Amino acid sequence: MRDDNCIFCKIAGGDIPSTTVYEDEQFRVFLDLSPAAKGHALVVPKEHFANLFEIDDEVLRDLIVVAKKVAIAIRDALGCEGMNIVQNNGPLAGQTVFHFHLHIIPRYADDGQNINWVPGTSDPETQVKIAEAIKGALKA
């Protein structure tokens, strides 16, 4: 299904041009317009899913295989020294385009990026409670 108001539906469908590096029946992979680093690419399903919570399992399985293939090609073509795979869900988590996409961000020694988080603290009792809550939700 397509959402006519969604920019990534239009890009994935070829209605809006993009710098495409890979395309098949299900996916388009294109370079990010505001790249975090040279070769920053987005893996986008042609079908519209808002985020990870909504995406079809089979599409997701196929998507990660495409992401791996393109990630290897980016590494080989551009000689990056590392790579971050980032996927944002919801505005609070930094999602700005509400059509599922996986960021492939090649990393270079001098790229000036800091794709990271501030490490927090934990205690065993709280961790067990959190784990129990999640396990309960998984069973539901």
Active site residues: 101
- Pick the binder of Zn ion from 28, 48, 101, 103 (CB under 5 A): 48
**Coil, helix or strand at residue 118:** coil
Smallest separation, CB 1 to ligand 5GP (Å): 19
Alpha-carbon gap, residue 61 to 140, rounded angstroms: 23
| DSSP three-state, residue 126 | helix
Helix (H) or strand (E) holding 10: helix 7-12
* 20 interacts with ligand 5GP by CB under 6 A: no
**Residue 41 engages ligand 5GP in binding (rule: CB under 6 A):** no
Select from Zn ion, ligand 5GP, none the partner in contact with residue 28, using the beta carbon and a kind-dependent cut-off of 5 to 8 Å: none
Integer Cα distance of 104 and 69 in angstroms: 11
Distance in Å, CB of 10 to Zn ion, minimum: 8
